[in-house]
Chain A
């Protein structure tokens, strides 16, 4: 029997014990990504679909789990643990993001195998995937405080995500300079650019710029998660 003494260990143990969920979690992104990457779909469409996939994987996982925990009374129990809310949320969401990353690893491997020459984009891709997953998890966690069911939380997550993805230039190239500036303030634009690069396309940013963006958003997401600890775990 696997025993977990810390919050992150517990997340991993529960994930490892749920074999059926494990298979589905690993299979679902592959099912979406394989035809896109293998068939040689236009890079901009493949990058768009993969950006949406990665964002949604990040946002839905923790949102649904936290809503269920709020209903079952587990959130209330978490509040009584001798751990600060910020640390608790960072530990939980970063583990959840790590699990999401694991879920997406086969997809990233397929991209790497299909486009080995684009290896220069890999640091940027890994960093921006991590940043988007953590931000997605945080968005899901905040949405869980507004909703009463896992189904409802999906709605609260998707509603802000779609315009944000649009403003990131994921759906269509952005021409006006002001929109370009806005897109650089959103993490999804760096993920999209990194995916474009890793899929052999023509990104608008250089690899080092994308690395910088991904890294910045990753650090920012960790700080923001700590700040949101009380908001997420102590809202009634």
Chain B
């Protein structure tokens, strides 16, 4: 992974990007850039605009405001732009009645690859993705994880300059996720820029150089991962698993509590530096028996998001 330098020319640059949908959803006034070899994480809860932003960057949606420049070209329909993008959208859409190999072959040819090169690269990518045994199976018989792997194969086959991936680790098993991380790291070393929308804080911390936090369609924070993590360094994340709901007001009222949020049956609390987590239990005062489990761990990007918005990122891997 490369550090961001001013001298590098951005492969992709968005300025004041807006796409508004009825009901107030969308993305608003987003400005970002993506440099060669950089891995950029787009993080935010469901409905924060990650997928919309990725679709705009992928030329799959048209902005209602602002501008995007791909490789210095602002025409999204220019085939020379699209040929250099590798895209994995949120829906792993395929021609279900065709085999995995037939699908990959078709998409590879759309990007101008010849028969020989396609065969060679697909053989390697099917081996890498673990889909070799299922290559002649119809996609309708694939599991969700297999379909997403096939999407990755299709996004990588033409060796794009920019990879745009929506939740790439979703539905992947441990081994496949590890392979994906290694692949992305290798690609970034060779100059491929990657933008990935994810809720997986571990994936983001491991491979992203920079992260953009999205909340209600707007960028609320952007920065290098180590720089962002220093903002929560020293504080602690306490997770309380509950048998029954409890009010958060009393917890939030504690001066040591920087943020608190409930997701499903778990309360996430970010405690200030030097606070004893037992103080949280003390404030529950008589309701502590409702806590079935308590976990204290080092803070991560998810805790910073919680601190900034009061909203927890959904757990990527329960």
Contact = CB atoms under 8 A, between A and B. Distances in A.
Given A1-B102, A80-B59, A84-B79, A14 B97 contact: yes
A85 B101 CA distance: 25
A82 B60 contact: no
Tell me the dominant secondary structure on chain A's binding face: loop
Interface string A73-110: 11011011111110000000000000000000000000
Nearest to B21: A236
With a 10 A CB-CB cut-off, give which of B77, B81, B85 has the most chain A CB atoms.
B77
Interface in B29-47: none
A69 B91 CA distance: 12
A1 B97 contact: no
Contacts of A4: 102, 105-106, 109
B250 to A, nearest CB: 45
A85 to B, nearest CB: 7
B98 interface: yes
A178 interface: no
B65 to A, nearest CB: 16
A117 interface: no
Contacts of B83: 82
Contacts of B97: 14, 17-18
B188 interface: no
Interface residues of B, number: 37
B98 A14 contact: yes
Nearest to A234: B62
Contact of A76 (B55, B98, B107): B55
A39 interface: no
Given A17-B98, A73-B93, A74-B93, A80 B77 contact: no
B106 A82 contact: no
B110 interface: yes
Nearest to B104: A3
B11 to A, nearest CB: 16
A5 interface: yes
Interface string B44-84: 00000000000100111110000000000000010111110
A175 B212 CA distance: 69
Contacts of B184: none
Given A5-B105, A18-B97, 8 more contacts: A4-B105, A5-B109, A17-B97, A76-B91, A77-B60, A80-B85, A82-B79, A85-B77
Interface of A: 1-7, 10, 13-14, 17-18, 69, 72-74, 76-77, 79-85, 234, 236
26 contacts: A1-B101, A4-B106, A4-B109, A5-B106, A5-B109, A5-B115, A10-B106, A14-B98, A69-B93, A72-B96, A73-B89, A73-B91, A73-B93, A74-B95, A76-B55, A76-B91, A77-B60, A77-B93, A80-B58, A80-B59, A81-B107, A81-B110, A82-B82, A82-B111, A84-B77, A236-B61
